[in-house]
């Protein structure tokens, strides 16, 4: 038996060796059969180099020209170089004035470490409250700007305000360059980049808020976002076929989330975010996935199981993370969305005030009209439809198990099969859906629209995909696609030049003037007359300007991510409600306020639609007007405080003494009284 078993074992071993040898030889033959990349002729290499060089030069030039345009326009609009420091600071309008004030504080600090400590343990801005300004206001841009200003020795060459503005304008130039590069990578021609920049500048009312207020967080963040998009586009363009490459993208997502977690002072919201759970679930599901022959019934079943596994793991991991990671529930966000979509109603002043903000409204018809007049919206819709339908066509073919070529050529007419196109189509649909609900998000979506529309009209593959669907026979489709990819953007560019270039030049030549003497007088009076330890109360937007221009302590700030500050804002706004002098006095003294500033523009507000004025929202919150059917009307025996306090009669004069006024502002000193009088 042993003798018989010996030969059989040897036979099996020989067969195994033979099969392994056959596999190795087959691999070697496959490698030999694979055509080695031939070295391109010198003239072809020169053409490629010239194309890349001209494209890079055009991208950099576009960014620089846009930055210079912003600088010139800013100077013409505000006469910035001819103004005093106080007047310059007042031009930082809106809620964002507070950001620049911390940049000034960093420059005044004896050392960088001391400056950072004072910002993270700040008790000199808001009365009776210590805040981590870096965390709550995302002050990393100001920290970096202050370091660069001092490290480069710019304090001997340029004023701090010009350095700050120059950095922001420079970032806007990088923003435009990144959009240029992304469109160029997708289409293969730098002509698409030029068209992207043209559409971006022409539609800048809807692409950026840099003209409204320079220190806005989005003016710092969006350039980096555009650079990330450009880098990811280049990575996806390399054709992700292996799991290893997809795995690298997952790693980047996880690394970015944990980096954000650390930089945002251990922000637990990032750890319990659905994105982290989804990425981890995808990685786990891929590890558990079995190798099955494509196109078979079992393969289709496995795809369904894999999809179910990813969804289940995502939900499970997210629940587990929320159980073990301490975090705040976003109940107020759900409530906000319910009210936003009309599913619920609320009397809450803060929520109604936020819903009345223009940036949180749905886009107006003027927005779509402007995009249509510049020909951007029609071409974007055309490009999106073609790319989306082509993408769905490729997906259905893969689901049905049909084999597709790994390398897509122009003749294939299959633009939806490219990974970077799939990513951008999904991305733009998501951003567009959000922008249709919240107008403020149009500044994220409209630049994307410029980039995608320019890529589409300049891409021969897109035209080829369309011609393949139309079954074009009369003219060679490839030749026609190449012609249209050059002719259409050229015609668009010439029409834009003829219509909009004179307008841009007129804007630069036209001298404007930002003149706000009342605010200048108010800030001057505070710096000269108010005690250094004084605390001011008023609207959050005005308090931000006071903190910037004077450095005095205030009772509230225009911040909407802190529950305590939101409650403060609502309480301070009661100066415009129908409340008694005693109630207002109690509110103000509870925050240790010494001075009250009443703004005539808010007290006598008539411009905005009824129901969205501050005094209307306060009346609703206090029950002085009917909000819903069945509500009980609470009659107020007091007049509106901001009106009554101006008349200077008892009991108002017992609590408040007017110390300064002009056409726009009335400043009252809060008296120290022993007993309240009715």
> How many whole angstroms from its chain centre is CA 24?
53
User: At a CB cut-off of 8 Å and minimum separation 6, what does 263 contact?
Assistant: 140
Dist CA 659 CA 120 (whole Å):
35
Six token digits for residue 18: 């033979």
Angstrom distances, CA of residue 356 to CA of 351, 439, 563: 9, 12, 19
655 part of a folded domain: yes
Q: Mark which of 509, 527, 557 sits at the end of a domain.
A: 509
Query: Which whole number is the average pLDDT over 605-610?
Result: 70
* 441 plus 568 within the same structural domain: no
206 part of a folded domain: no
Predicted local distance difference test score (pLDDT) of residue 605: 85
> Is 197 a residue whose pLDDT tops 90?
yes
Looking at the chain, the whole-number percentage of residues with pLDDT higher than 90 is 50
Six token digits for residue 341: 């979509």
Q: Which of 122-136, 522-536, 595-609 has the lowest mean pLDDT?
A: 595-609
* Per-residue model confidence as pLDDT tens digits over 544-558: 999 999 999 999 999
Q: How many CB atoms lie within 10 A of CB 296?
A: 11
165 part of a folded domain: no
Encode burial over 180-198: b for 16+ CB neighbours within 10 A, e otherwise: bbbbbbbbbbbbbbbbbbb
Six token digits for residue 320: 């587990």
Q: Which of 217-231, 438-452, 581-595, 635-649 has the lowest mean pLDDT?
A: 635-649
517 closest CA partner among 40, 84, 139: 84
* 334 plus 386 within the same structural domain: yes
264 part of a folded domain: yes
Query: Which whole number is the average pLDDT over 599-614?
Result: 83
What is the domain extent for residue 565?
517-670
Query: Which whole number is the average pLDDT over 194-216?
Result: 93
Predicted local distance difference test score (pLDDT) of residue 456: 93
Predicted local distance difference test score (pLDDT) of residue 16: 42
**If you search the block for the tokens 């593959």, which residue do you land on?**
461
495 band by pLDDT with thresholds 50, 70 and 90:
very high
Q: Contact 375/268 with Cβ under 8 angstroms?
A: no
Region of 375 on the Ramachandran plot (φ > 0 left; ψ -120 to 50 alpha; else beta): left
287 part of a folded domain: no
Q: Contact 66/172 with Cβ under 8 angstroms?
A: yes
User: At a CB cut-off of 8 Å and minimum separation 6, what does 307 contact?
Assistant: none
* 406 plus 538 within the same structural domain: no
* Per-residue model confidence as pLDDT tens digits over 623-677: 877 555 445 556 678 899 999 999 888 888 999 999 999 999 999 999 986 444 4
60 closest CA partner among 184, 165, 205: 184
Dist CA 189 CA 425 (whole Å):
19
294 band by pLDDT with thresholds 50, 70 and 90:
low
Six token digits for residue 356: 């009345």
Q: Contact 249/202 with Cβ under 8 angstroms?
A: no
**CATH number, domain with residue 599:** 3.40.50
CA 121, 125, 128, 132 dihedral sign is negative
> Is 161 a residue whose pLDDT tops 80?
yes
Dist CA 6 CA 21 (whole Å):
23
* 379 plus 466 within the same structural domain: yes
* 505 plus 463 within the same structural domain: yes
Confidence (pTM): 0.86
Dist CA 559 CA 136 (whole Å):
8
Dist CA 64 CA 43 (whole Å):
31
> Is 280 a residue whose pLDDT tops 60?
yes
Dist CA 612 CA 48 (whole Å):
58
Q: How many CB atoms lie within 10 A of CB 416?
A: 22
* 339 plus 437 within the same structural domain: yes
Q: Contact 449/436 with Cβ under 8 angstroms?
A: no
* 563 plus 644 within the same structural domain: yes
Quick one: DSSP state of residue 261?
Answer: H
355 part of a folded domain: yes
User: At a CB cut-off of 8 Å and minimum separation 6, what does 588 contact?
Assistant: 537, 555, 572, 596, 670
* 402 plus 538 within the same structural domain: no
122 band by pLDDT with thresholds 50, 70 and 90:
very high
The residue with greater pLDDT, 623 or 123, is 123
Q: Mean pLDDT over all residues of the chain? A: 85
* Per-residue model confidence as pLDDT tens digits over 393-450: 988 887 776 666 666 667 777 788 888 999 999 999 999 999 999 999 999 999 999 9
* 568 plus 442 within the same structural domain: no
420 part of a folded domain: yes
Helices 243-263 and 274-288: crossing angle in degrees, nearest 10, is 150
**If you search the block for the tokens 């018989």, which residue do you land on?**
4
Predicted local distance difference test score (pLDDT) of residue 251: 84
Angstrom distances, CA of residue 655 to CA of 539, 576, 596, 673: 20, 16, 11, 7
Predicted local distance difference test score (pLDDT) of residue 243: 60
> Is 14 a residue whose pLDDT tops 80?
no
Give the DSSP letter string of 58-79.
HHHHHHHHHHHHHHHHHHHHH-
Dist CA 176 CA 66 (whole Å):
8
377 part of a folded domain: yes
Predicted local distance difference test score (pLDDT) of residue 339: 83
* 390 plus 433 within the same structural domain: yes
26 band by pLDDT with thresholds 50, 70 and 90:
very low
Q: Contact 165/75 with Cβ under 8 angstroms?
A: no
- Indicate the number of domains in the chain: 2
The radius of gyration of the chain's CA atoms, rounded to the nearest angstrom, is 32
How wide is the angle at C-alpha 337 spanned by C-alphas 431 and 602, nearest 5°?
100
> Is 23 a residue whose pLDDT tops 70?
no
Backbone angles phi, psi at 605, to 5 degrees: -65, 130
* Per-residue model confidence as pLDDT tens digits over 460-483: 999 988 888 888 776 788 888 888
Predicted local distance difference test score (pLDDT) of residue 292: 60
* 496 plus 551 within the same structural domain: no
Dist CA 489 CA 494 (whole Å):
9
Q: Contact 117/126 with Cβ under 8 angstroms?
A: no
* Per-residue model confidence as pLDDT tens digits over 508-517: 887 777 778 9
Q: Contact 143/263 with Cβ under 8 angstroms?
A: no
Predicted local distance difference test score (pLDDT) of residue 3: 44
Dist CA 604 CA 394 (whole Å):
60
Q: Which of 68-72, 261-265, 525-529, 667-671 has the lowest mean pLDDT?
A: 261-265
Q: Mark which of 458, 487, 509 sits at the end of a domain.
A: 509
* 369 plus 421 within the same structural domain: yes
* Per-residue model confidence as pLDDT tens digits over 324-351: 888 776 666 778 888 888 788 888 899 9
Q: Mark which of 483, 509, 535 sits at the end of a domain.
A: 509
Query: Which whole number is the average pLDDT over 359-380?
Result: 93
């Amino acid at each position: 038996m042993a003798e018989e078993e010996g030969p059989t074992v040897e036979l099996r071993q020989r067969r195994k060796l033979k099969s392994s040898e056959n596999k190795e030889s087959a691999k070697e033959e496959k490698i030999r059969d694979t055509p080695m990349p031939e070295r391109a002729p010198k003239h072809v290499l020169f053409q490629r180099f010239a194309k890349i060089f001209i494209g890079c030069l055009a991208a950099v030039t576009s960014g620089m020209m846009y930055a210079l345009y912003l600088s010139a326009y800013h100077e013409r609009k505000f006469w910035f170089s001819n103004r005093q420091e106080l007047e310059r600071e007042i031009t930082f309008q809106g809620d964002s004035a507070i950001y620049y004030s911390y940049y000034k504080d960093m420059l005044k600090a004896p050392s960088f470490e001391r400056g950072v400590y004072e910002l993270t343990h700040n008790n000199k801005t808001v009365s009776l409250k210590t805040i981590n300004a870096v965390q709550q206001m995302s002050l990393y841009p100001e920290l970096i700007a202050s370091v660069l200003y001092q490290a480069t020795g710019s304090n001997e060459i340029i004023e701090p305000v010009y350095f700050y503005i120059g950095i922001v304008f420079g970032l806007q130039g990088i923003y435009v360059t990144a959009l240029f590069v992304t469109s160029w990578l997708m289409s293969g021609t730098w002509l698409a980049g030029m068209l992207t920049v043209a559409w971006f500048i022409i539609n800048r009312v809807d692409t950026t808020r840099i003209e409204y207020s320079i220190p806005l967080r989005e003016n710092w963040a969006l350039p980096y976002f555009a650079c990330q998009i450009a880098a990811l586009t280049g990575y996806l363009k390399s054709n992700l076929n292996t799991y290893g490459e997809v795995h690298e993208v997952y790693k980047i997502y996880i690394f970015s989330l944990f980096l954000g977690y650390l930089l945002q002072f251990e922000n637990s919201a990032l750890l319990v975010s659905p994105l982290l759970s989804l990425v981890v679930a995808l990685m786990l599901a891929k590890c558990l996935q079995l190798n099955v022959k494509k196109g078979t019934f079992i393969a289709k079943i496995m795809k369904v199981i894999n999809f179910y596994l990813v969804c289940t793991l995502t939900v499970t991991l997210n629940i587990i993370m929320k159980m073990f990671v301490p975090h705040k529930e976003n109940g107020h966000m759900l409530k906000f969305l319910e009210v936003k979509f009309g599913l619920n109603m609320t009397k809450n002043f803060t929520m109604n005030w936020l819903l009345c903000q223009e940036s949180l409204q749905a886009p107006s018809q003027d927005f779509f009209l402007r995009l249509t007049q510049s020909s951007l919206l029609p071409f974007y819709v055309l490009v999106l439809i073609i790319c989306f339908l082509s993408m769905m066509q490729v997906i259905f073919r893969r689901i049905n198990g049909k084999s597709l070529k790994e390398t897509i050529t122009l003749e294939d007419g299959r633009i939806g099969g490219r990974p970077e196109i799939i990513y951008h189509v999904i991305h733009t649909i998501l951003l567009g859906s959000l922008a249709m609900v919240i107008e403020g998000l149009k500044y994220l979506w409209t630049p994307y629209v410029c980039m995608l529309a320019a890529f589409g009209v300049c891409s021969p593959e897109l035209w080829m995909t369309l011609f393949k669907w139309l079954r074009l026979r009369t003219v060679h489709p490839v030749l026609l696609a190449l012609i249209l990819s050059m002719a259409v953007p050229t015609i668009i560019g010439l029409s834009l030049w003829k219509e909009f270039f004179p307008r841009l030049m007129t804007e630069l030549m036209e001298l404007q003037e930002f003149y706000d003497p009342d605010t200048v007088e108010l800030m001057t009076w505070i710096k000269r007359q108010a005690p250094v330890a004084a605390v001011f109360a008023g609207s959050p937007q005005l308090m931000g300007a006071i903190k910037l221009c004077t450095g005095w302590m205030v009772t509230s700030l225009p911040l909407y991510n802190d529950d305590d500050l939101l409650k403060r804002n609502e309480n301070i706004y009661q100066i415009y409600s129908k409340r008694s002098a005693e109630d207002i006095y109690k509110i103000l003294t509870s925050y240790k306020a010494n001075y009250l500033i009443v703004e005539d523009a808010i007290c006598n507000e008539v411009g905005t639609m009824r129901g969205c004025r501050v005094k209307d929202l306060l009346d609703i919150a206090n029950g002085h007007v009917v909000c819903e059917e069945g509500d009980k009307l609470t009659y107020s025996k007091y007049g509106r405080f901001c009106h009554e306090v101006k008349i200077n009669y008892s009991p108002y004069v017992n609590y408040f003494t007017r110390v300064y006024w002009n056409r726009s502002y009335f400043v009252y000193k809060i008296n120290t009284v022993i007993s309240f009088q009715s």
